[in-house]
Amino acid sequence: QKEVEQNSGPLSVPEGAIASLNCTYSDRGSQSFFWYRQYSGKSPELIMFIYSNGDKEDGRFTAQLNKASQYVSLLIRDSQPSDSATYLCAGGYNNNDMRFGAGTRLTVKP
Amino acid sequence: GAVVSQHPSWVICKSGTSVKIECRSLDFQATTMFWYRQFPKQSLMLMATSNEGSKATYEQGVEKDKFLINHASLTLSTLTVTSAHPEDSSFYICSARDARGARPDTQYFGPGTRLTVL
């Protein structure tokens, strides 16, 4: 069974702080990993994807992948109230399969 | 790029009627489309996967005769909820991927369709 686990939260951070979101996966066959952001009542939007071990930075967002430990994380620097949303981690495979975590709800307090 | 649209964005119908939801990829060819359902405050639940020109593959517990999926072209998939009942009320979201594109394993989501069955 290919599982992707996330802490459901809620995670609350003050404005300007670093928010750290974590995700673990059980199947070493996962080839690629994705972070989606979902605002309440809206559909998920892609933030970042990462395929290789290490860090990948895009603006205020940094994705980190450690295949040996089977975890992937998302760091949000200088958190803003507009970052308040549910963040979904997903692991993809060479076939059609992509498994989503349950999501972590983040609240950034002004 | 990679825009996915859905229509309608919301629908209210009477119990027993059928509802069709369209999912379109606007600027790429969607070799595979996915249909998800999401109940309030819950996570995404994959309902089925469809490849263009093939029958959809349904997840365990999803009734294929109730949720009819057609993926007749590389830009359009439809989900028909047949004989809808109040328990089918949910947020239905499609996503699409282009297996021959630059990011073949990335799914792009449509805006979702909120279905309310009275």
Q: Taking the CA atoms of A7, A52, A45 and A84 in sequence, report the sign of the dihedral they define.
A: positive
Nearest CB neighbour to A102, from listed B34, B43, B110: B43
Contact A98 B51 (CB under 8 A): no
3-state DSSP assignment of residue A39: coil
Quote the CA–CA distance of A54 and A60 in Å, as a whole number. Answer: 17
**Two structure tokens written together for A99:** 């498994």
What is the number of CB-based contacts under 8 A between chain A and chain B? 43
What Rg value do the Cα atoms of chain A yield, rounded? 13
Contact A45 B109 (CB under 8 A): yes
Q: Model confidence over B51-90: pLDDT tens digits? A: 888 889 999 999 999 999 998 899 999 999 999 999 999 9
Quote the CA–CA distance of B30 and B2 in Å, as a whole number. Answer: 10
Residues of chain A with pLDDT under 50: none
Contact A44 B44 (CB under 8 A): yes
Contact between B94 and B111 under an 8 Å Cβ cutoff? The reply is no
- B-chain residues within 8 Å CB-CB of A101? 43
Q: Model confidence over B7-33: pLDDT tens digits? A: 999 999 999 999 999 999 998 888 899
Quote the CA–CA distance of A85 and A82 in Å, as a whole number. Answer: 8
pLDDT at position A29 is 79
